[in-house]
Chain A
């Protein structure tokens, strides 16, 4: 059995006017030591998905249906106190906005120590500090900076410190939500290499959420493309890159410029226009139909079906035969 199994996960937000579906019937599973990338434009529901796994949705968000099984535990029905023990100890998270992920009035070291000592109350402070020092070595921050305040760190250091904290309790799964978006390209690359190396070394499962398909391609074994709350294409990295099937995936790929030219894009087309949140998410029909250059009458009348291209490569599109 896989480490993490997500079945039919549907997440919704209550707003003043309506209940909006943010993630619609998401299915995937993840083995120990493997990594999956979730790609999509902002607002497509990818962060929501990550938050739902840790049960950290905003107060108006809720899981409508579906199951999340992690190491045999049904995460969605776990009592709160047991869920608190799963968080960070088993599933850690690297946040989208590392700039603001640190409490500005507490020392960084204290915040990492807090994570360690919450999950291991027996550890002495000296031992815990020692662990932090090792982690800092791993992410290459000088140990004398441990007890600085967040405003004394640079952006890249904050991000690396977050990674150090994510590793502090040696979790089985790390959810990295746009961990490098706010950084410049050089630092971004360093951090990505770091994440990749650590993931491999410690045999951690990784869910990597990003809007940048190039970044995901560099880190993950598998890729899932998400559009308006639905996974529209999922497969191994090479498959999705070499034979992108869904028109949206192709649009995404063509808007991403490869530097090393490893992947050749076959179907050049104009970059994908952003989805308009004002339009209601049609429940059953393909969400991309209004922008899709290949949309046929069938797309407008029938909901799309999952097709298997290969046993590991699937796509949700009516055009594909």
Chain B
């Protein structure tokens, strides 16, 4: 089937890209000034621990063998030991990755849904005051500096008004309490997540709105919109059943392209709100020269973006019958 073949091809492509990133990172790591061994092995480690780690990571081997070790270690999940935590890197990643995925997917889905909805309406009322004002608002949202708006939100909503916790993802007291059920815990996470979510939402909703607006304006010039009107359909039906489904397509494509951008914002948000995600971990590791952790975090972040890209492609193919059939 055409559809399956296409998705299959995309997956192969994405895997190739990931392999390129994997290799590029290896090359950069070895090309950069500095000794790879001292970067992967913490100075304070005992001699036998250190030699075991070195042989595990293949750091005593010639470069090409090191590369094979590196690829093998990626697939077996062996990324060495974090300097700061003193634990295998993969454990830290395993704990952080779900938190990032939770925040990232929720924010992308919510802001895309809201942006598309408003973009659709605003394009319909093109040239009216509502269009002008919402577009200006979207432009402003789109260009706001994320860390600043995050700090501002903390200052206003957490510090002054006190509606939300200052940072973090959970309240330890709630989780220590043995009687706390799943709902209590989920509500606690939700409470912590609202402000970071709001930050990401404000930043992203504007760009999705602008994309949907221009896509919708393009679609409204199409002949089939005229057909729909000539058929005597109500304006609402023309908008929602004929214009919008076609206008979604370019928006889905640009959501795919903007995922890397969203991850940047996610990492900044995680850092400001001390959200224990993988982006914050990367920034933290880089600041502390914790190379094993930093490299692994980066690989997994790229992986998240690539997987999300494939999901977006599937969505596109689903929405466009020209690909499905």
Contact = CB atoms under 8 A, between A and B. Distances in A.
Q: Do chains A and B touch in the complex (CB under 8 A)?
A: yes
Interface of A: 54, 56, 80-81, 84-89, 92-93, 95-97, 100-106, 111, 114-115, 118-119, 149, 151-152, 165
Nearest to A100: B223
A102 B227 contact: yes
Interface string B224-247: 101111111111010001100110
A132 to B, nearest CB: 14
Nearest to B229: A56
B227 A84 contact: no
B13 interface: no
A71 to B, nearest CB: 16
The interface centre, meaning the residue of B232, B241, B320, B325 with most chain A CB atoms within 10 A of its CB, is B232
A314 to B, nearest CB: 30
Contact of A84 (B224, B226, B232, B319): B232
Given A100-B222, A100-B224, A105 B246 contact: yes
21 contacts: A84-B232, A84-B233, A87-B230, A87-B232, A88-B230, A95-B223, A100-B224, A101-B223, A103-B227, A103-B242, A104-B224, A104-B246, A104-B321, A105-B245, A105-B319, A106-B241, A106-B242, A114-B231, A114-B241, A115-B231, A152-B325
Nearest to B126: A59
A55 to B, nearest CB: 9
Interface of B: 222-224, 226-235, 237, 241-242, 245-246, 319-322, 325
A81 B223 CA distance: 22
Contacts of A86: 232
Given A95-B227, A103-B227, A151-B322, A88 B232 contact: yes
A317 B108 CA distance: 66
Contacts of B246: 103-105
A54 B233 CA distance: 13
Given A54-B230, A114-B231, A104 B322 contact: yes
Contacts of A54: 230
Contacts of A87: 229-232
A188 B223 CA distance: 20
A151 B231 contact: no
B322 A88 contact: no
A54 B229 CA distance: 9
Given A100-B222, A102-B224, A151-B322, A92 B242 contact: no
